[in-house]
Chains A and B, each alone.
Chain A
Amino acid sequence: AQSVTQPDIHITVSEGASLELRCNYSYGATPYLFWYVQSPGQGLQLLLKYFSGDTLVQGIKGFEAEFKRSQSSFNLRKPSVHWSDAAEYFCAVVGGAGNMLTFGGGTRLMVKP
């Protein structure tokens, strides 16, 4: 069965600083990988996804992620964080026959002014 680990429960960065959120997955074949963001009182919103091809994928709100098969990782990055990026971020994987998402535990991002 597939699994996802997000090693950092909380991260605090200063506004304007760069950001990297870590995600490691476990799955036998090439997975479908996703990053979602959850803001207080709002539903989960898809930031970006990786299926195949170019291992660097661009998403919404200036986010990007890089798939590294050798490290079983799919880390999320942003070059300059804005205060509005403060939220909970979830990495997820689709594995197996269905389309069900397996989520990591999430990373809560706080942004200092």
Chain B
Amino acid sequence: GAGVSQTPSNKVTEKGKYVELRCDPISGHTALYWYRQSLGQGPEFLIYFQGTGAADDSGLPNDRFFAVRPEGSVSTLKIQRTERGDSAVYLCASSFGSRGDEQYFGPGTRLTVT
């Protein structure tokens, strides 16, 4: 079956620009997670959705980052006024809604801010 997909796979943008990263979760998964992985590091949690609502956004680094999941399926991570420090691989994962359920990861979007 189809896994988690993310688009685009690569995004190059200039400092100060706005970007949107898309995540299509596995059908039927109620939970959706965004993580960020900088070079040589483990993924870091950004935000978690249960259905349409953000259950925990404590990992968002500042108010330039925002994410939505309006219909409880596809999610978009939005970054305003991008900075070079935002360059990283942005990973999306989905799971059934219970604690400890396996999270299935997408291939990621590599964001480069020049």
- What total of A-B pairs shows CB separation below 8 Å? 66
User: Binding site of B, secondary structure by majority: helix, strand, loop or mixed?
Assistant: loop
Report how far A103 CA is from B99 CA in the complex, Å. Answer: 16
Contact partner of A98 among B35, B55, B93, B107, CB < 8 A? Answer: B55
Report how far A6 CA is from B48 CA in the complex, Å. Answer: 25
B:26-61 near A, CB below 8 Å: 31, 33, 35, 40-45, 48, 55-56, 59
Report how far A46 CA is from B95 CA in the complex, Å. Answer: 12
A:35-89 near B, CB below 8 Å: 36, 41-46, 49, 51
What are some 10 contacts across the A-B interface (CB < 8 A)? A32-B99, A46-B102, A46-B103, A94-B99, A94-B100, A98-B48, A98-B56, A99-B33, A99-B97, A100-B56
Chain A contact residues (Cβ within 8 angstroms of B): what range? 20 to 34
Contact partner of B105 among A44, A49, A98, A104, CB < 8 A? Answer: A44
- Minimum CB–CB distance from B86 to chain A (whole Å) comes to 19
Q: Which A residues form the contact surface with B (CB < 8 A)?
A: 4, 6, 32, 36, 41-46, 49, 51, 90, 92, 94, 97-106
Report how far A76 CA is from B7 CA in the complex, Å. Answer: 33
For A41, what are the chain B residues with a Cβ–Cβ distance below 8 Å? 107
A103/B42 in contact, CB under 8 A: yes
For B33, what are the chain A residues with a Cβ–Cβ distance below 8 Å? 99-101
B107/A103 in contact, CB under 8 A: no
